[in-house]
Structure 1
Amino acid sequence: MDEARTLLIATCGSLARLHMRLIGQWHWRRQTGPKTWSLSDPHWRVEELDPPSPWLDACAPRTEIANLIPAIALVQAHLLGMVEADGPIDGLKACVALHHLSFHGSAWSEPVRRLADRLDVELPAEPRDATNMASLQQAPLPGRQRRTAI
């Protein structure tokens, strides 16, 4: 396995740990007592993570944790699809996929910059120059084309 694939697998592993942390925080913080739930402010935000996550450093502070949970899964699906696909990894596409965690943030996060350095990719000055403001949700998942047996 080449270095780029190994790096994307490690990235997905780290994102999985963040994913589990956010799921736990989302459930745990919602409860204010036995069978008592917060109704006044039901949505926990990135700014409330203690300690903060470097994966989310380009996220708006008021981004809801509930929105990040499916976003992380989508990023992982894209990165793992790149690992599975034939041919070389497109480093810029991997960085753009990881940038999805910032929800169209106007700056590259530090983890995206580190990934770009490791993949030897030159990032455009602003993320919108690479994404054209397109959402990862609309992009087809990379990977091998398979026929389902169902």
Structure 2
Amino acid sequence: MRLIALWHWRRRTGPSTWSLSDPHWRVEELDPPSPWLDACAPRTEIANLIPAIALVQAHLLAMIEAEGPIDGMDACTALHHLSFHSTTWSSAVRRLADRLGVQLPEEPREATHLASLEQRPFPKRRRRQPG
């Protein structure tokens, strides 16, 4: 919610001035920094993160609704999408992997094969029982 709030306001460049030429907030300007975005490139614009967060949430929610157990590596690579193809795992992904008992490869590209979350289909939903 903090990112959405910032997204609606221009960047402040001084006590009473705002940037007109570069109005978008960047990850490096978050105060306090977000632990969810620690693997993001510092100059990643907040405006780009809003749809990424929505996509990650959609994938994680689809995993809950899908048949069978949740694949921990799939959950970790979905969350990694918030890092915008970072070459390192974020602390949030590492915490999730520890909690789910997932052994992460050394580099994210070994798990994602450089594919973006936009390219991954949603897990198939469970069939609803009639009645």
Q: TM-score, with normalisation over the residues of structure 2?
A: 0.88
Over 3 Å counting, the alpha-carbon distance change for 1:43 and 1:28 in structure 2 is closer
- How many residue pairs are counted as aligned between the two chains? 124
Whether 2:130 is the aligned partner of 1:130: answer no
Is the partner of 1:71 in helix, strand or coil? helix
Partners of 2:24 and 2:33 in 1: CA distance: 17
Give the letter for the 2:84 counterpart: F
Preserved contact between residue 83 and residue 143 of structure 1 (Cα < 8 Å): no
Whether 2:84 is the aligned partner of 1:103: answer yes
Q: Any runs of at least 4 consecutive aligned residues in structure 1 with deviations exceeding 6 A, and if so which?
A: none
Whether 2:34 is the aligned partner of 1:43: answer no
1:119 corresponds to: 100
1:22 corresponds to: 3
Give the letter for the 1:106 counterpart: T
Preserved contact between residue 3 and residue 46 of structure 2 (Cα < 8 Å): yes
- Summarize deviations over 1:15-68 as a string: whole Å, max 9, x none: xxxxx1101011134588xxx963221221000111110000000000000000
Partners of 1:84 and 1:47 in 2: CA distance: 35
Structure 1 residue ranges without an equivalent (≥5): 1-19
Structure 2 residue ranges without an equivalent (≥5): none
Give the letter for the 1:140 counterpart: P
Q: CA RMSD in A?
A: 1.9
